[in-house]
Amino acid sequence: MQVTETLNSGLKREIKVTVPADDMEAKLMARLSEAKDKVRINGFRPGKVPVQHLRKVYGKSFMAEVVNEILNDSRSIITGRGEKAAMQPEVIMTEDEKEAEKTLAGGADFEFSLNYEVIPAIEIKDFSDVKVTRPVYDVPESEIEEQVKRIAESTRSFEPKDGAAAEGDRVTIDYVGKIDGEAFAGGAGSDQPLVLGSKEFIPGFEDQLVGAKAGEEKTITVTFPEEYQAPHLAGKEATFDVTIKEVAKPGELEINDETAKALGLDSLDKLREIVRGQIESQFGSMTRQKVKRQLLDQLDAAYKFEAPSKLVDAEFNNIWNQVNRDLQAAGRTFADEETTEEEAREEYTRLAERRVRLGLVLAEIGEKAGVTVADEELQRSLFEQVRRFPANQQQEVFEFYRSNPEALNTLRAPLFEEKVIDHLLGQVSVTDNKVSKEELMAEDDEAEGEKKAKPAKKAAAKKAEEKPAEEAADEPKKKAAPKKKAAAKDAE
């Protein structure tokens, strides 16, 4: 095999590969000899078919297989040059049918070219000068007890009462939501229990039920929040025709072992332990993201090199497609977001370049450090992903990932990245800083050094993992119109 470089410009490469006809012939004869004892041809005993007859029958198809094997192994040709291709190389072959036929017949050298970009050499720098501050929030016992109380509320008993509903009472209602006089999907419910003051419904809904009595019918007017998750409802005024079917007063709330048992736990201490773990995990995730942002910002400042354009293009397309989906779903334009399409493209191109560059740096650091993702870790991630789908789709999703290496790699990549981050945090200087809850929850002006997406504030250029844990925990309470399992569930 002869390899000749025909282009070397920046990260772009093109090489011409020539496999002599004699080598192709040798590969073909080896394949024919291997098939001799396996094929069955009428008129010949097993293993006695002449090679030349086999060649006449299977020569072209076997030679096509040889060609495909060589092409499929093209990355090893690049590796043999001491290079790493950023993406699968583009294969350029003759389009002349006669030349192709001659190659398949074994009468000509097999020639093709590989067009690709290389991953630039990255020299890993010393991390001793890298310093990050880890914001730490010590969760007070009072916050644990408040959450225990909120959870225990689900076990509180209610007794029907006469008279007007007050804050803390439970009303049972039927409702139909309308916009411009027309009922909207997901905006209706029946026999729906609602504790007034629980803030389960959109702002303003519960307040208008204070003073209502069983048997009454009321029309409530509310306005959906501007950032409501169902874009077609966001910011719109809606009316709800509500029938109050029952008003019930709360019984005394008891928080003890029996309460915990009603929740399926052994004891009140166990409930407190679980609550503490959940809260500390939420704030711990927020702490990690802030530390990670600092770390990535410093890596971004330290490593400046040309990123492979095809990787950047692929990353940009992912971001840009999401941006446009979000805009379309929200019924908004770039002008509504105080930008232009051209400015947005420039911003997201910079974002794509940063992500690609940081991805290459983290990959190199991880490789040098021997970071790997164990099969068990990948398996757990796969199961977690599968469980997000309805039960009747889980097997299909599981098989899709198991049979699609590229899809499986989308699960492996974030696991690898987090392990590299763990490795780095063991190498750099980390200083703990006690902060308040408000300080920890305050969003940074930039996420991982990236400007927030103007036309896609929710998701496009901001990774899901960057969302504060408490915000994610509160989301289910904000998804309803009026309740968390009503309008938004169907609208989204």
pLDDT tens for 251-288 read 988 899 999 998 999 999 999 999 999 999 999 999 99
Rounded Cα–Cα distance for residues 385 and 186 (Å): 27
- Residue 463 corresponds to which tokens in the numbers above? 């990774």
Confidence at 343, pLDDT banded by 50, 70, 90? very high
Question: Model confidence at 239, in pLDDT bands (50, 70, 90)?
Answer: very high
3-state secondary structure of 85: strand
Mean pLDDT of 156-168: 93
Arithmetic mean of pLDDT, 373-390: 93
pLDDT of residue 349: 95
Lowest mean pLDDT among 48-57, 123-132, 133-142: 48-57
Average pLDDT over residues 154-163: 91
Please give the mean pLDDT across all residues of the chain.
85
pLDDT given at position 309: 94
Task: Please state which of the ranges 3-12, 19-28, 169-178 shows the lowest mean pLDDT.
Answer: 19-28
- Can you tell me the distance from the alpha carbon of 36 to that of 44, in angstroms, rounded to the nearest whole number? 11
**All domains of the chain in start order, with CATH:** 2-117 (3.30.70.1050), 157-252 (3.10.50.40), 280-461 (1.10.3120.10)
Output the pLDDT for position 445.
53
The position carrying tokens 């971004």 is: 300
pTM, full prediction:
0.72
Beta strands in 138-272 (DSSP E): 158-160, 170-179, 182-195, 217-223, 237-250
Cα 192 from Cα 482, distance rounded (Å): 11
Residue 450 φ/ψ, nearest 5 degrees:
-100, 135
pLDDT in tens, 181-219: 999 988 899 999 999 998 889 999 999 999 999 999 999
Band (49; pLDDT cuts 50, 70, 90)? low
Rg from Cα positions in the chain: 32
The pLDDT-based confidence of 43 (bands split at 50, 70, 90) is: low
> How confident is the model at residue 42, as a pLDDT?
64
Range with lowest mean pLDDT among 36-40, 290-294, 322-326, 481-485: 481-485
pLDDT at 28 over 70: yes
What's the angle, vertex CA 362, arms to CA 427 and CA 317, rounded to 5? 150
Residue 475 CA to residue 225 CA, distance in Å, equals 13
For residue 119, the tally of other CB atoms under 10 A from its CB is: 18
Inform me whether the pLDDT recorded for 294 exceeds 50.
yes
Whole-number percent of the chain with pLDDT over 70? 87
pLDDT digits (tens, 9 = 90+) for 436-462: 999 999 876 544 445 444 444 433 334
The two tokens of residue 137 are: 């929030």
Residues of the chain with pLDDT > 90, as a percent, come to 63
Enter the tokens of residue 49.
């078919």
pLDDT tens track for 477-492:
233 333 333 432 232 3
Per residue in 63-103, pLDDT (tens digit) is 899 999 999 888 899 999 999 999 889 999 988 888 888 88
- For 91, the 3-state DSSP assignment is strand
Residue 46 in this model has a pLDDT that exceeds 70: no
CB atoms within 10 A of CB 350: 14
Q: Which residue has the higher pLDDT, 32 or 373?
A: 373
Query: Residues of 352-385 as b/e, b for ≥16 C-beta within 10 angstroms?
Result: bbbbbbbebbbbbbbeeeebebeeeebeebbeeb
pLDDT for 467: 32
The predicted-structure confidence for 466-478, as pLDDT tens digits, reads as follows: 333 223 223 222 3
Is residue 323 within 8 A of residue 453, CB to CB? The reply is: yes
45 pLDDT higher than 90: no
Average pLDDT of 303-311? 94
Q: 110 has which bridge partners?
A: 19
